[in-house]
Amino acid sequence: MSDGMKRRTFLKVLGASGAATATVGCSTGQIEKLVPYVVPPEEVVPGVPTFYTSTCRECPAGCGMHVETHEGRVTKVEGNPDHPISHGNLCPRGQAAPQGLYHPDRYTGPSLMEFGVNQPRSTTWQQAETAVAEAIRTAPRGSVVYLTGGYTGTLDRLATDFANAIGARRVDWAPLEDTPRDLRFADADLLVSFGADFLETWGSPVDYAYQFSQQHGYNRGRRGKFVWVGPHRPLTGINADLWIPTRPGTEALLAQALAAGGDLSAVAAQIAPEKPTEQDTQRIATGLRTLGEWWGSSARKVAFGPGYAVRGSNGEALRQAVDRLNGRATAPAADARPMLQLIEQMRAGQIKVLLIDAPNPSYSLPGGLKFAEALQKVPTRVSFSSFPDETSAAATHVLPQSHFLERWDDYIPQPGVFELVQPAMKPVFNTRAVGEILLGISRALRVTPTPGFTGQTWLDYLRASWAGRAGSQAAWDTALRRGGVFAENGRGTQALGFTALDRQAQPAAAAPAPAQAAPATPAAGAAAVAATAAQPAVVNAPLAPPAQVPAPPRAVAAAAYQPPRYEGEADGLHLVVYPSIRFYDGRTANRPWLLELPDQVAKVSWESWAEVHPDTAKAMELEQGDEVDIASPHGTVRTRIYIYPGVMRGAIAMQMGLGHEAFGRFTAGVGANPMKLLGGTVDPASGALATSGVRVKLTKTGRGNVTRAFPQGLVEQGVRVQHDRRISQAVGVTALMQLDQKGPGIIPGEDQHIHQLKGAGGFVPEATTTDPAAYPPAGTNYGEYIENETRWAMVVDLARCIGCAACVVACYAENNIPVVGPTEIRKGRELSWLRIERYFGVSRHEEEALRDDATDDVRFLPMLCQHCGQAPCEPVCPVYAAYHTPDGLNGQVYNRCVGTRYCANNCPWKVRVFNWFTYQFAEPLNWQLNPDVTVREKGVMEKCTFCVQRIHEAERNAASEARAVRDGEVVPACVQTCPTEVFVFGNIADPTTAVAQAARSNRGFRALGELNTQPAIVYLKKVTLHEPRNGGHDAPPAAKGGGTEHQPQEGHEPAMQGGH
């Protein structure tokens, strides 16, 4: 138990800490103590989770969330269904928030460094605040700077007032937070993104992913198009139907041409690489032509940009062109010049006191700016960071701020949305909200930041500033219950409700809302937090509420397009630096779940890599995994080569987020930081920081993947081609519409497959149809499954899956899945119950995944336990640890398992994972463990249970009310969080349920359905614009290398005679 924790918090934990012990142990073995509350918190029933409404602050999107707490411990976060931004969903980063809260590396309390001493000494808040105040008081005028990042709402106001009050200058530094978060494109026919990864970091990823799924998913013959423009394809890019590769810095040209409505082919020459190959010119020509046609034929069009990765000297020009395309004005990119000026002053020694609450500038600023060096010149460096990071490591005073799950705050992500952040538990460590700290320092300085503010605490200040919006206690309670004040309801206005699946899915995901949001009153909030809850007093003198809308956009002169100038040697590779969906700009890089989660595109964990085109690699004699030094005029980083056709020839792409020098135990020595390679030049037009326009040299420093006892180096999980297995299928939109004429519920592929078998004289299994009515056949004890009983089943719509893997992290959080770490990951031993498979090709030929068009039809496949009706894993278990439940689940009894691992061998989907060791949860990460799920020990097999604990909870509730479980009442963690609502879960035996209706679709198929194990998971084929390749003979191994956009091919040719 680390010193920062309050005893009572510990006792609360004790109540449920039982879950943290392993599956062995005997019922009446050891003597334990039961320590009750001294004073029981109201509305907290021990053993029953309490939910609080709050707002996610992992990124500027500001998704509303419900925080699940058990006996005062936060155990899980979920999207708030009533919220206009999150729609009840969360992204991987949001799901990983509890790991930020319980991170073992967090500062346990304030600390400061005396002169001469290089070791920070932990101290009290009183002393720390006085020390800072003292430094501020003694500092000469104008030498105090408050560096803030992405403040809005009340904190923004307090910060400004505070800076004014103490005579400090305030500098804002929020690199990725300057993108529009209020675009509406759910009904658009065509999306064009200029390097804007709006499904990952750009704007408001969860909201945009939700809209994208409606725009791009299949909707009764309607399916929007999406064009990606940029030098390389990140996750968002490979979800596009068309990619126009552009030389970094030339995107603006295309945007302008598009806006001008002229002939696009004119720009072909400029956007092509310096030395274009035959394929490049052809590809760009075809691309431009198609884009032109689509743009002309589409009614509703939305453009995105500029993405962070394509912000060069023409960034502003691109933004203005995009605004013209959208016919709306957005704010220009964040002005970096004040920051540069600050750095100059720091270097010149003009800054005496620097208060830092910006996202780790020492790490995230371009290496060329040498912020870290300049920082050393500042005598008093005060960091408000809650983690030790590169910046706070150099700080003289560390006043750690609370995690957003343990503090009061508010946030204004976009006009008209005012969100509240409420603490769901007592601070884990001795930390405070930034507002609290500012008030404390002001108190020590005897200044009142805001005239008229009479209260004491930050909460008082918050309530005061909200007085205009939610003055009365009732209004405040309502705001807290909803998560803030916002006009539109989450799903109501936004859902287009285009499929049965969609309509039905909404109540499903919405179900937890009423029951759980209810207790989330401030009383409960406070009560759960502190046993002696002081009702926050409504302050008499209300402050003027913070600005309703963000400050009006800076006026920026119209920017003309200049041919981009590049730093570095002329024959170098264009460096593309892009933010990561897992790590954002690196601020979430220390969360074990996110490190363990394989990258959505590269499928690499615990490692950085540099993406190069196969031809580039061939030219430089590089192989995947080779270790290289990447040198720019500003620095050098060492990383490994990843061969990827989704990056243009002559470019190299690197992901931000890893390569930390001081960011705790998990990131130590992991990966490389590409920001070191950037110079920190700015776009003259807007003053925005240029992230492209650098050329780098590669020098090979070693063979990468030496296979000793186990694979070392860069290990890419999975394979890139489907080996003719047709496990992830697609169907052309035209063919699909023809099928729809015939009626629902036919699966052409499968049926033909069976007949093929018959023809080949092989054994003929039951016809495999996904029609739920067809299973189980009447009067059979098929697969130990009781007729007329509930059968839990799931439908997975591949047309909506964008591969973001939020479901995977949610699964980790809900089911106490341990993190195995880099060495075990390289042995392929990740314990993930749910994985997102990513296929570039369908044939058995690896080359197919290296072709230029390999990234045009990327298949994502969420793979989890299929809960077969007649499961191969069940009969082979000698002890009944794997067996079939009456309601159609494949039960897995951990404590009965002896670990023969036969079930895993016999599982065709390989979704069973084995506990090779007893994995540890570093204190206090174990506080997050879900008490409803057993923690497994070494030697035990585990797998997806369809969140059986939630099923039982729902059944218990239903039983106590003497009714049947309602459709949509059971929501597994993956279903709950999916931003694009790919999953539908429910009882497929009842034809009225959403899942049963969704399963009766012409897109339906079962992965490896020909094995006839009757899986409970029905996949809906991805829908492509052209007839896709679907494995088997129709995969042309001949067409290597070049190849045009799409070869129109017969989609439903069964893959029987695949191979030799």
Partner 1 sequence: MTKLLRMAALALLPVVVAASCRPYRADESDGPDQPIAFYHSVHAGDNKMPCMYCHYTADRSPDAGIPSVQLCVGCHVPASSAPTSLRGQSALAFPKVKGTAQKPDSAWHKEGLKLVDYWRRGEGIPWVRIHKIPEHAKFPHSSHVNVGLQCQTCHGPVQEMKKVYQFSSLRMGWCIDCHRGNQKLSEPEEAAVRSRSSFVRRLRALRAEGGDIRGQQATYPNQRASTDCVVCHY
Partner 2 sequence: MSTTVTTVTRSEFHPDVESYQQVNRDAMSLLTNPGKGYVALLGMAVALVGLLVVAELHNIIYGLGMVGENWTVLITTFVFWVGIGHAGTLISAILYLFRAPWRQAIYRFAEAMTVFAVLTAALFPLIHIGRPWFFYWLLPLPSQRHIWPNFRSPLLWDVFAVTTYLTVSSVFFFIGLIPDIAAARDAATTPVRKRIYTALALGWRGTDREWRHFTRAYLFLAALATPLVLSVHSVVSWDFAVSIVPGWHTTIFAPYFVAGAILSGVAMVVTLMVPVHRIFRLGAYFTPVHYDRLAKLLLLTSTIVGYAYAMEYFMAYYSGELYERDVFWDRVTGDYWWAGWSMITFNAIIPQLLWIKKIRQNLNAFFLITIFVNIGMWYERFVIIAPSLAHSYEPWKFWNYHMTWVDASLLLGSFGWFFMWFLLFLRFLPGLSIAEIKEVLPPPMKRHGPAHHAEESHATAVETLPTGYNEWEAR
Binding segment toward partner 1, per CB under 8 A, in 236-244, 662-670, 839-847, 887-895: 887-895
Q: Work out whether 910 is an interface residue with partner 1 (CB under 8 A).
A: no
The C-alpha atoms of residue 45 and residue 518 are separated, in whole angstroms, by 14
- According to CB under 8 A, which one of 324, 377, 503, 896 is a site residue for partner 1? 896
Q: Work out whether 523 is an interface residue with partner 1 (CB under 8 A).
A: no
The C-alpha atoms of residue 201 and residue 74 are separated, in whole angstroms, by 25
Asked if 635 contacts 676 with a C-beta cutoff of 8 angstroms, the reply is yes
Nearer to partner 1, 365 or 933 (CB): 933
Binding partner of 755, given partner 1, partner 2, none, CB within 5-8 angstroms per partner class: none
Binding partner of 673, given partner 2, partner 1, none, CB within 5-8 angstroms per partner class: none
The C-alpha atoms of residue 994 and residue 980 are separated, in whole angstroms, by 16
Nearer to partner 2, 209 or 868 (CB): 868
- According to CB under 8 A, which one of 261, 901, 959, 1057 is a site residue for partner 1? 959
Tell which residue, 24, 4, 1, 26, has the closest CA to residue 14.
1
The C-alpha atoms of residue 490 and residue 467 are separated, in whole angstroms, by 24
Asked if 172 contacts 151 with a C-beta cutoff of 8 angstroms, the reply is yes
- Beta bridge partner(s), residue 628: 639, 700
Looking at residues 410 to 439 of the shown chain, list those that interact with partner 1 (rule: CB under 8 A). Answer: none
Binding partner of 955, given partner 1, partner 2, none, CB within 5-8 angstroms per partner class: partner 1
Q: Work out whether 885 is an interface residue with partner 1 (CB under 8 A).
A: yes
Q: How many CB atoms sit inside 10 A of residue 117's CB?
A: 10
Residue 122-151 contact track with partner 1, rule CB under 8 A, x = bound: ------------------------------
Q: How many CB atoms sit inside 10 A of residue 880's CB?
A: 11
Q: Work out whether 895 is an interface residue with partner 1 (CB under 8 A).
A: yes
The C-alpha atoms of residue 409 and residue 459 are separated, in whole angstroms, by 8
Nearer to partner 2, 443 or 829 (CB): 829
- According to CB under 8 A, which one of 620, 876, 958, 1011 is a site residue for partner 1? 958
Nearer to partner 1, 29 or 327 (CB): 29
Binding partner of 1057, given partner 1, partner 2, none, CB within 5-8 angstroms per partner class: partner 2
Give the H/E segment covering residue 154.
helix 153-166
The C-alpha atoms of residue 849 and residue 398 are separated, in whole angstroms, by 49
The C-alpha atoms of residue 259 and residue 561 are separated, in whole angstroms, by 13
Q: What does the block give as tokens for 10? A: 């510990």
Tell which residue, 1038, 999, 1057, 978, has the closest CA to residue 726.
1057
The C-alpha atoms of residue 690 and residue 688 are separated, in whole angstroms, by 6
Q: How far is the CB of 169 from partner 2 (least distance, A)?
A: 54
Q: How far is the CB of 956 from partner 1 (least distance, A)?
A: 6
Q: How far is the CB of 898 from partner 2 (least distance, A)?
A: 5
Main-chain phi, psi angles of 795, to 5 degrees: -115, 130
Q: Work out whether 535 is an interface residue with partner 1 (CB under 8 A).
A: no
Q: Footprint of partner 2 on this chain (CB under 8 A)?
A: 707, 709-711, 717-719, 721-725, 727, 757, 760, 762, 824, 827-829, 835, 837, 844, 861, 863, 872, 875-880, 883, 896-902, 904-906, 908-910, 914-918, 938-941, 1008, 1011, 1055-1060
Angle (CA) 1030 1033 1038, round 5°: 100
Angle (CA) 797 801 803, round 5°: 145
The C-alpha atoms of residue 504 and residue 834 are separated, in whole angstroms, by 23
Give the H/E segment covering residue 128.
helix 125-138
Q: Work out whether 451 is an interface residue with partner 1 (CB under 8 A).
A: no
Looking at residues 610 to 669 of the shown chain, list those that interact with partner 1 (rule: CB under 8 A). Answer: none
Q: Work out whether 868 is an interface residue with partner 1 (CB under 8 A).
A: no
10 Å CB burial of residue 524 (0-12, 13-18, 19+) is buried
Q: What does the block give as tokens for 593? A: 């779940």
The C-alpha atoms of residue 786 and residue 888 are separated, in whole angstroms, by 8
- According to CB under 8 A, which one of 661, 740, 847, 955 is a site residue for partner 1? 955
Main-chain phi, psi angles of 466, to 5 degrees: -90, 0
- According to CB under 8 A, which one of 174, 475, 737, 786 is a site residue for partner 1? 786
Nearer to partner 2, 363 or 914 (CB): 914
Q: Work out whether 948 is an interface residue with partner 1 (CB under 8 A).
A: yes
Length of the chain in terms of residues written = 1060
Q: Work out whether 48 is an interface residue with partner 1 (CB under 8 A).
A: yes
> 354: helix, coil or strand?
strand
- According to CB under 8 A, which one of 499, 949, 1002, 1024 is a site residue for partner 1? 949
Binding partner of 886, given partner 1, partner 2, none, CB within 5-8 angstroms per partner class: partner 1
Q: Work out whether 781 is an interface residue with partner 1 (CB under 8 A).
A: yes
Binding partner of 90, given partner 1, partner 2, none, CB within 5-8 angstroms per partner class: none
- According to CB under 8 A, which one of 331, 496, 893, 954 is a site residue for partner 1? 893
Q: Work out whether 872 is an interface residue with partner 1 (CB under 8 A).
A: no
Tell which residue, 345, 352, 342, has the closest CA to residue 378.
352
Q: How far is the CB of 828 from partner 2 (least distance, A)?
A: 5
- According to CB under 8 A, which one of 40, 142, 553, 991 is a site residue for partner 1? 40
- According to CB under 8 A, which one of 549, 962, 1038, 1060 is a site residue for partner 1? 962
Answer positive or negative: Cα dihedral of 229, 230, 236, 237: positive
Binding partner of 789, given partner 1, partner 2, none, CB within 5-8 angstroms per partner class: partner 1
The secondary structure of 453-486 as a DSSP string is: ----SHHHHHHHHHHHHH-SHHHHHHHHHHTEEE
Residues in touch with partner 1 (CB under 8 A): 11, 15, 18-19, 21, 23, 25-29, 31-40, 45-48, 532, 779, 781, 786-789, 880, 883, 885-886, 889, 891-896, 932-935, 945, 948-949, 952, 955-956, 958-960, 962
